[in-house]
Amino acid sequence: MKTKLFLFGFVFVYVWISLPLGMGYHVSWALEATLWQKFKWYIITGLSENYALKLVLSSISMVIYNFLFKRYKHKKIAVCPLRFRVQNK
């Protein structure tokens, strides 16, 4: 496995899973709460809640991705995700 690819993908997947996306906690904010306080709370809560599950899911997804990437690279087949077709080099 390529270490840089694994770490970058791991962080990307972890942050993507941590985004609120309209699900999760709803907080009734006081009128005095600033946008910075709300933003900081959502970031801290999103990254820290259920972190063990997110770590496992991110690791599994990157292992699967790296396995498939290595398999396609070994066969010298380029996968074009925008057109959803396989092209031979």
Digit-by-digit pLDDT tens for the chain (89 residues) are: 577 878 888 888 888 888 766 555 667 777 888 889 888 887 888 888 888 888 898 889 888 887 877 766 655 555 555 555 555 55
Q: What is the pLDDT of residue 39?
A: 83
Other C-beta atoms lying within 10 Å of the C-beta of residue 24: 14
**Is 72 in contact with 79 (CB distance < 8 Å)?**
yes
Structure tokens at 65: 């991705």
Structure tokens at 64: 């699967």
Q: What is the pLDDT of residue 47?
A: 83
Q: Quickly list H helices, 1-89.
A: 3-18, 35-48, 51-75
- Tokens 């074009």 belong to 80
The structure's pTM equals 0.60
**Could you give phi then psi for residue 86, rounded to 5 degrees?**
-105, 135
Q: What is the pLDDT of residue 15?
A: 86
Q: What is the pLDDT of residue 29?
A: 75
